[in-house]
Amino acid sequence: MFVRELKRSLDRLNGARGKTPEKLERTTTKFSSIGIGSIADLLLYYPREWVDRTRVVPLKDFNKKDEKGRKITVCTVAKVIAHDWVGFGAKRGLKVYIEDKTARAVLTFWKYQETYTKILSIGESFWISCKFSYNARYGDIQSSSKIVYKRATDEGAFKKLFPIYHLGKQITQKEIESFIKLALRQYGSSIEDEIPQFLRARYDFLPKSKALTAIHSPSTANELEKAKNALIYEEFFYLETIIGRKSMTRKAKQRRECKAKFGLQERLLERLAFSLTVGQARAIEEINRDMDGPFPMARLLQGDVGSGKTLVAFLACLHAIENDRQAALMAPTELLARQHAENAAKLLEPLGVRVAFLTGNMKAAGRAQLVKNLTSGEIDLVIGTHALFSKDVVYRDLRLVIIDEQHRFGVLQRQAIMDKGDSPDLLMMSATPIPRTLAITVFGDLDVSIIRDMPPGRKPIETHLARESNEAKVYDFVKRRLAEGAQAYFVYPLIEEGEQELKNATSMAERLARETFPEYRTALVHSRLDEEEKRQTMEAFRKGDARVLVATSVVEVGVDVPNATCMVIEHAERFGLSALHQLRGRVGRGSAQSYCFLVYSDEYTEDAKTRLMAMLESADGFIIAEEDLKLRGPGQIAGFEQSGYLKLGMADIVRDSALLEQARVDAFAMLEKDPGLLLPENLVVSAVLERCPPWENVVF
């Protein structure tokens, strides 16, 4: 039986049935709060980390960091040398002074103090596991986390590897550990391997049953490492197998090819007052080649903010239109879709291209006529939002689908627009650069085009960090730029008053208009405004009627105002790295020097400091994307988490990139040799895919 087939509820565990029904029901309810509803869920609920008490870490090393930059846990034999009391009454605490062969330190207890005076008696030696920090006020090393101790004579019970799990409400580590031990004892030996035998032998992987046991209860660090490798490889192997099968399915589709005609593209290029950058030219060459190929295109176009991806997309549309087909460009917001439609009208309508704009806010009469024209083929290019895949929208011959800011759409939404055509070409665009390893993993068999260069004539944006206490200087600087005729953005994390220490866009718009920039018109835009109000506000800012735009991150995409040269992001520590970079990209769209001020409060985390320093040190979106991936992990970057991507339990594509690459090679080699997975050595793979539904839900 494969582990995912253990769908029985937790009350089927032999030891669990010994509990009273009421207590068991309370326990299983607590487990369901963290997504554990079956024995399979329980066994696949991997520890988030392991505390290694097998290695001695002396007190003198308390301030060292591990490979992830986290403070190391001390693990040492120490002698209790004194007791002392601190505080009074209910706030009275016990200080236990200890020393090992390298240093002295203090353990502090705020509960059950009298008990600890008896257990941790003076003169006795104990194994101690705890994190420590230096207290400048008292000039000593003090405990800063939960203290674990055993008598020095209990070395065997202390020096082990202990799993640490993410905990839900009212769930304890002890409860999770006890239930997992029951599950392993009852079902562990019957769990079948999911990696083909020839691959398991090649890499000397542990059998699945032993790997699960070692993950939850490792006896040695080496055994834990072997278990991790086996489970990580297995996840990647099946992910890449699904990717490979999707690739084969797509490439097996036959469709009418485009003829190599590029007259419309050439006419557009002749009309432009500039030449394509090297990156743009290479990207459209790759797209043209795909569209002329024997199977549908699936390509991701990446480029930093302002690199000219939209022009490349329009050129791709022209290739489809020249072959008497239709193209659709879908954007996540009406603001961005409208901007694309306006640019398309200026650039493409003089070439005879019939452009239409469709959103969910269109009035019924106009919408009905537009849909009728789309169905009859009187529209060549339609640009819009989610409305493009509404049930009543029918295309005559949809050949090319372009999805801008693709990470803002869910998997099913992307599929819905694709289903409107007969195996149309797909071009997804992202201004949030994604590291190549991540792209090939989460986007299946997509080819990737990258525009790394920027259009000539644009000056690098100057980025500055400013404490909130120095924001007056930032306001004065912006005021001077406004006096010179420029425009400015002010961005806030909240729309209205929420957390007391945070400024919000609504109240700050009033304050800036009344106190800071009274001589200039200030406008406000955020997600709660209706689309027409947003449009009017943005149009006023674009025309220069409003000189200051106060906003939330709604302006992260789809705003192109060349005269805006100042971007002020307040509470910058509250924004993600990707959002900060996107917001900075709203300025620098013209030839004038532009500036970005990241205003931060005194209360910020180490991660926030890392993000702000990354913004200060680099303007390269690809470097920033790599840093974002390190900070947030693959589950959250670029919206993959909400899009349904990367439902991996143990694997991490950054940390485990070597295993990912190997699993990809092995999976694709297997499929190339045996596409139907019919050979005896591959039958286990087809069985896993058939019998374990979770793998069927991995979609791209």
Contact 39, 10 (CB under 8 A): yes
Taking phi over 0 as left and psi of -120 to 50 as alpha, with beta for the rest, 151 belongs to beta
Same domain? For 285 and 220 the reply is: no
Secondary structure element (H or E) that encloses residue 235, with its range: helix 221-252
Same domain? For 84 and 143 the reply is: yes
Is 431 part of a structural domain of the chain? yes
Is 689 part of a structural domain of the chain? no
Contact 547, 572 (CB under 8 A): no
Is 674 part of a structural domain of the chain? no
pTM beyond 0.85, yes or no = no
| Helix, strand, coil distribution of the chain in percent, nearest 5 | 45, 20, 35
Same domain? For 154 and 197 the reply is: no
DSSP 5-74: G----GGGSTTGGGS-HHHHHHHHHHHHTTT--SHHHHHT---SEEEE-SS-B-GGGTT-B-TTSPBPPE
Is 693 part of a structural domain of the chain? no
Same domain? For 291 and 375 the reply is: yes
Task: Say yes or no to pLDDT of 270 above 70.
Answer: yes
Q: Output the average pLDDT for the chain.
A: 86
Is 338 part of a structural domain of the chain? yes
Total number of domains in the chain: 4
Q: What is the CATH number of the domain that holds 360?
A: 3.40.50.300
Same domain? For 518 and 414 the reply is: no
How large a percentage of the chain has pLDDT more than 90?
48
Residue showing tokens 């000039």: 139
Q: For 178-218, what is each residue's pLDDT tens digit?
A: 999 999 999 999 999 999 999 999 999 999 999 999 999 99
Q: What's the pLDDT band for 175 if we cut at 50, 70, 90?
A: confident
Is 477 part of a structural domain of the chain? yes
Boundary of a domain, candidates 397, 418, 451: 451
Which whole number is the average pLDDT over 580-605?
Answer: 87
Boundary of a domain, candidates 618, 650, 668: 618
Same domain? For 308 and 437 the reply is: yes
Same domain? For 272 and 365 the reply is: yes
Q: What is the CATH number of the domain that holds 121?
A: 2.40.50.140
Same domain? For 583 and 478 the reply is: yes
Q: What pLDDT does residue 192 have?
A: 95
Q: For 37-46, what is each residue's pLDDT tens digit?
A: 889 999 999 9
Is 679 part of a structural domain of the chain? no
Q: What pLDDT does residue 204 have?
A: 96
Same domain? For 377 and 492 the reply is: no
Boundary of a domain, candidates 595, 618, 641: 618
Which whole number is the average pLDDT over 679-683?
Answer: 95
Same domain? For 389 and 522 the reply is: no
Is 340 part of a structural domain of the chain? yes
- Comparing 42-56, 89-103, 358-372, 422-436, the range with the smallest average pLDDT is 422-436
Per the structure, the complete domain to which residue 383 belongs is given by: 263-451
Q: What pLDDT does residue 556 have?
A: 74
Q: What pLDDT does residue 411 have?
A: 64
Same domain? For 480 and 590 the reply is: yes
Task: Say yes or no to pLDDT of 136 above 80.
Answer: yes
How large a percentage of the chain has pLDDT more than 70?
90
Same domain? For 442 and 356 the reply is: yes
